[in-house]
Each structure stands twice: as C-alpha cells, then as structure tokens.
Amino acid sequence: MDKITVKVPDAEFSRVLNLYASRSKRSFMESLNSRLCDILIKSYIKTRRAEKSRIEAKMNVVGYKLSRSRKTGALRKSRAILAKNAEGLTNAALLYIRRKVKSGHKSDLRGMTTADKNRKGERLLRAILRSVGFMASGFIPALKVFSALRESRGNSRGRVNFKDQVGQPKGFGTPAVSVENPVAIAGNTTKVADPVVAPAVEEAMRESMAYMEGVLRKNHEDALRGLEGRTYGK
C-alpha cells in the first residue's frame, strides 16, 4: 500500500506545536487533533485546486463548452476546448500517443485520423481530471474522524463537503486518545497520491506552523503590553 511522503522540518514543527499547546487552554491531545484536522482540510482543498489547474495548463485547455442541465436548468461545463498544434493535434492527443508508444501498443495508432486521436485524447483528459477527485478523496476517511471530534466540541469551522467520495476512499485516520503520550496519525493511501498530495500536505503543514507562530507572537505581544500597563500604573 503506497503512502504519501512528506518532507517538512518535523523537529521544528514539533517544537512549535509543543509551545503552542503549552499556551493553549486545551490539552496537548486536543491541540494535536485540532491542528491535524486543519492540515487535512487544507491538504484536501489544495490537492484538488493545484492538480486540476496544473493538468488544464499542461493540456492547454483554453475553455469549456457549456450545456444546460435538463433537471435543474443550470449551466454546467461539458467538453473541454483544447488548443491544437500545427498538425491539428491537441496536447491530450499527444499524451495519448506517447502512452500508446510507451506501452508497446504503437500498432493501435495505425489508420487513426487526427480527429480520432483528438477524441481519444479528450477521453483520456476526462479520465485524468476525474482522478483529481479520487486523489483528494484519500483524505476523507481521516477528515471524517478528526472533523467529528471538532464538531463534538461545537466547532464546525472548516467543514468540508465530501462531494469527491466515490466508493470507499483509500485513507485512514487515528486521533490522539492518550493525554500523557498523544499520537495522531492520518494518511492518504491512493496509489497515485504521492506526487500530487505530498506538496499539498507540505504546504498545509507550513501554513499550520505559521498560524501557530502567529498566535504565539500575538500572545507574547499582549503579555508585554500587559506588563507595560502595570509598570506605568505604579
């Protein structure tokens, strides 16, 4: 089972988390679970946004055709509009051709017209874009666990609509339950997750650390102002 690989300054993150938890009214266990919930939410959102926009840019998607839903009447995106090169091929078609050649099925390309290759490329692009939701859905099992803990305390901040869930998402989450030695674990185990998810998790952890440092800095400044007030009052 593949697991994401996250490269962050773990020692520094742990140091800031310990300091943050020591200044919090909550226990270290609750602070740890709350911080991990925030990281999971950010990772989920960043995975979807970054991967979809990156794929669209790489495939040179210039827009989408719109269609109207028969059920609701609302407009929705349908087929992607792709730019073409001098030979009339889209980047998606070129990707389809490269994959066929690499897999040893070059003979499948014989007799195919440019229009055929473009249609195959569009089909491949749709499959790739659908996989964006699949990769992000690997965070859902952990998110359900950690967000339930947060909502049990009456805090619904950062709630995520799990619209990407299809079937059984591949992931896990185990919150910290021990007050003395709390350990919280979460993972996205989709097989294609690592190159897409790891950067999102790293960025989410950096943002979480920056948030904790900001809270600590503000608390320190408030404490200094309080001391100055008492000094001048004497």
pLDDT given for residue 234 in this prediction: 41
pLDDT given for residue 8 in this prediction: 47
Residue 40's Cα: distance from chain center in Å?
8
The mean pLDDT of 43-47, rounded to a whole number, is 87
Q: How far apart are CA 215 and CA 81, in angstroms?
A: 46
Residue 63 three-state SS: strand
pLDDT given for residue 85 in this prediction: 93
Residue 90 three-state SS: strand
10 Å CB burial of residue 177 (0-12, 13-18, 19+) is exposed
Q: How far apart are CA 175 and CA 35, in angstroms?
A: 11
Share above pLDDT 70 across residues of the chain, in percent, rounded to a whole number: 82
Among 52, 7, 5, 26, residue whose Cα is nearest residue 205: 7
The mean pLDDT of 36-58, rounded to a whole number, is 84
Structural domain spans, the chain: 10-51+136-233, 55-134
Residue 201 three-state SS: helix
pLDDT-based confidence at 154, cuts 50/70/90? low
Exposure b/e, 18-54, CB count within 10 A at least 16 = b: eebbeeeeeebbbbbbbbbbbbbbbbbbbbbebbbee
Mean pLDDT (the chain, rounded): 80
Beta strands in 94-183 (DSSP E): 171-174
Among 187, 225, 184, 140, residue whose Cα is nearest residue 21: 184
pTM greater than the 0.75 cutoff? no
Residue 170 three-state SS: coil
pLDDT-based confidence at 213, cuts 50/70/90? very high
Placement of tokens 């200044």 in the chain: 23
Q: Residue 118 pLDDT more than 90? A: yes
Q: Do the Cβ atoms of 140 and 164 come closer than 8 Å?
A: yes
- Element containing residue 190 per DSSP (H, E): none
pLDDT given for residue 228 in this prediction: 64
